[in-house]
Structure 1
Amino acid sequence: MADRPTLLRPPPPDPSKAPIENVLEVTELAVLGPDLFTNSRQAWHPPGARGIYGGSVIAMCIGAAQKTVPDDFLVHSCHCYFLLAGMSELPILFHVERLRDGRSFATRTVQARQKGRCIFTTTISFVRENSSGSPSSQVSHASPMPLGPDGLPLQPPPDDFAGEPELLNQGPFQGHRIEVMNKESPHAHEKVTRQWVRARGEIAGGNQSHLQALAYVSDSYFIGTITRIHRLWRFPFKVDELEAMPPNVQESVRTLHDWEGMGDPKDMKNQPVVGMMVSLDHTIYFHEPAKVHADEWMLNEMSSPWSGDGRGVVTQKIFSKDGILLATCIQEGVVRLQELPSVERKESKL
């Protein structure tokens, strides 16, 4: 049989669901064995990346694991490793293993496989809603919503925002331009990037779908934060070559570069060039899983406490539009500068 992107014929998109729900749908394969699932639709391969988008695999693994726990158990953490580049031309099999089922917590591991090889693995922990006892028995605190220049908590874009560049408005998520704070600081660890994001449409599948959607978007621009705080050139050609390219290519590069908070490409002359950037692992702590509404504006704030030895670590806080800290994420990746002209430069997820 020829290679194809799904094991079963993809169903038509469900118009009653948000685009992200259709993208992340998984199908159970009970006829082949217990706790086995597959992607219902082709996984997205970002242009220039070595493999499929890692956020989609994280989210589909969570979706598969969710189907093996009771409905009142919500994911509160997942710890993931990207092992091999996933191929969009092949179906993915998700093998769920039930490690533990307790009264308050349940634990699952999920392996994503293609052609018998594990491309991704994650351990996911679920907590039963309202199982933490009375408020008087809990210790609580949370980072507040960042403040704007006026000293007030940041406010989301308007609900009717439509300012995305055309080349970026085709995916299941909508985003606002990335801002780099403390841009003039000589210390990379003092810089912070911020971006407002939300799923397009209205998510109809309940809380579980909102959590999958948050996991999906958490991988967007993540390890790439290193390029922004160090002002690294990441395109597969020299800055000086841009002026000789077709006008439409120049326009796209300038638009993308500015949208990522990097300003005008001409200011990048003599800046270091990315040689290789690959995500290694990804952790998400869902602090308020029952309060996640991924189809409403959420603020992603990213910073990096460290990079070195060919790797970088980035932390991410995700806030709801009304200031609730919904999740904290951590990612480590390979980050190497170009040493030879022949070194290939690609931002990769799997």
Structure 2
Amino acid sequence: MATLIRPPPIDHSQSNIENVLELTQLSDIDPDLFTNTRPLWHPPGARGIFGGAAIAQTLAAAQKTITPDFTVHSMHCYFVLAGNADIPIIYHVERVRSGKSFATRTVQARQRGNVIFTTTMSFVRQNSGGDKKVEHAYPMPTVPDPEQGLDDLDVNPDGKSPFQSQRLPIENDDSPHPHTKKCRQWMKARGTISSAGSHEAHLSAIAYMSDSYFVGTIARAHKLWRYSTSRRSSADEDVLKQLLAMDDAQLKRMRFVDEADIARIRRLRNGEKDPDEREIGMMVSLDHTIYFHNPRGFRADDWIFTEMETPWSGDGRGLVFQRMFTKDGRLIATCVQEGVVRLRQPENQPGPKL
């Protein structure tokens, strides 16, 4: 059973992402309890549900306990256990503090009594900073605009991904130093977010999208191969078969395929040995932080530019920074994520388990 209560019909007055992230309040039990209204997506080959769903739905739940004059400015999340797409999630909001200028909420996501995800958020009262302010912002780089009518292949194999994206070539991809590379993409929610959703729906939407290929920046910066015929995941094997069947033009339209991947696919087609045999054995998120800078100054259904870079990796972990900008160059969020990044070990030397 993927939901606690039978889902209502799709609300066509709302965007896809609003329907995906819809919550049901369990007010008969506790006004601070919520559950996912609709089934959640389990990406092929992943350990559990898409992490962005837990991030976004905990934010949506917390926003329902905040007065309209307060807006989220930061959230700090931990992925504790892999979420099971076949089991409903219960979100419990704890009202830690409600002050004059700031309010704090903690949300735990549970399945079968176990915490799978936890976050603490801080909300700030609108215009509480005064008329005189200290202001500056990291500038958006000059990049090509998103192409009208061009959408990278869908992240969700059933064609119902709630957002679309266009990846750009990796900046400094030929550098021998992974920390100097920048992974960039345009993305936006599909359709039009309803006026009834207000700014909360746009905030939940970018929280959802912020987890798109985030920790994967490390693999891309190191040009690590992410699909292996020796791996036990049938999802990896299926993806690899599809990639091998594509020509170079088709491969370049795949948003998760880089030039290094295309070169490897060519070698595999020709039966050549890969000079770099390093492969990802495990890559999962540990934590996720979002700082919202202009939380009411953007639309998530307009194009948003994101830039990701990794300052460090080691000891089986890696760190990634992400900046999110509106199309006209305003910085709207800064995100940080640490994740497990382990290479596939020889069969006689298995890597440690989580």
Q: TM above 0.5, one fold?
A: yes
Check conservation: 1:156, 1:297, Cα contact below 8 A: no
* Percentage identity across paired residues of the two chains: 53
Question: CA 1:323–1:273 in structure 2 vs 1: closer, same or farther (change >3 Å)?
Answer: same
Pair 1:200-2:200 in alignment: no
Check conservation: 2:166, 2:185, Cα contact below 8 A: yes
Matches within 5 A, 1:220-239: 220-237=212-229
Greater relative CO, 1 or 2 (CA 8 Å, sep 6+):
1
Q: CA offset at residue 247 of structure 1?
A: 6.5
User: Structure 1: where are the runs of 5+ without partners?
Assistant: 148-153
Q: CA offset at residue 72 of structure 1?
A: 1.9
Q: 2:298 aligns with which of 257, 267, 292?
A: 292
* Matched residue type, 1:115: R
Name the counterpart of 2:121: 124
Check conservation: 1:194, 1:300, Cα contact below 8 A: yes
Question: CA 1:84–1:167 in structure 2 vs 1: closer, same or farther (change >3 Å)?
Answer: closer
Name the counterpart of 1:172: 162
Distance in 1, matches of 2:247 and 2:239, equals: 10
SS at match of 1:291: coil
Question: CA 1:90–1:304 in structure 2 vs 1: closer, same or farther (change >3 Å)?
Answer: same
SS at match of 2:167: coil
Q: CA offset at residue 262 of structure 1?
A: 1.4
Which is further off, 184-193 or 252-261? 252-261
Name the counterpart of 1:41: 38
Distance in 2, matches of 1:14 and 1:344, equals: 48
Which is further off, 210-219 or 258-267? 258-267
Q: 1:250 aligns with which of 244, 251, 272?
A: 244
Question: CA 1:247–1:274 in structure 2 vs 1: closer, same or farther (change >3 Å)?
Answer: closer
* Matched residue type, 2:139: P
Which is further off, 161-170 or 35-44? 161-170
Pair 1:32-2:29 in alignment: yes
Matches within 5 A, 1:1-350: 4-134=1-131, 136=132, 138-147=133-142, 154-158=143-147, 160-165=148-153, 170-204=160-194, 205-237=197-229, 248=242, 250-251=244-245, 259-260=255-256, 262-263=258-259, 265=261, 267-268=263-264, 269-271=274-276, 272-341=278-347
Q: CA offset at residue 145 of structure 1?
A: 1.0
* Matched residue type, 1:140: E
Question: CA 1:283–1:246 in structure 2 vs 1: closer, same or farther (change >3 Å)?
Answer: closer
* Matched residue type, 1:20: I
User: Structure 2: where are the runs of 5+ without partners?
Assistant: 265-273
Check conservation: 1:286, 1:328, Cα contact below 8 A: yes
Distance in 1, matches of 2:183 and 2:49, equals: 24
Which is further off, 164-173 or 252-261? 252-261
Aligned residue pair count: 332
RMSD value, Cα: 2.6
Distance in 2, matches of 1:50 and 1:78, equals: 23
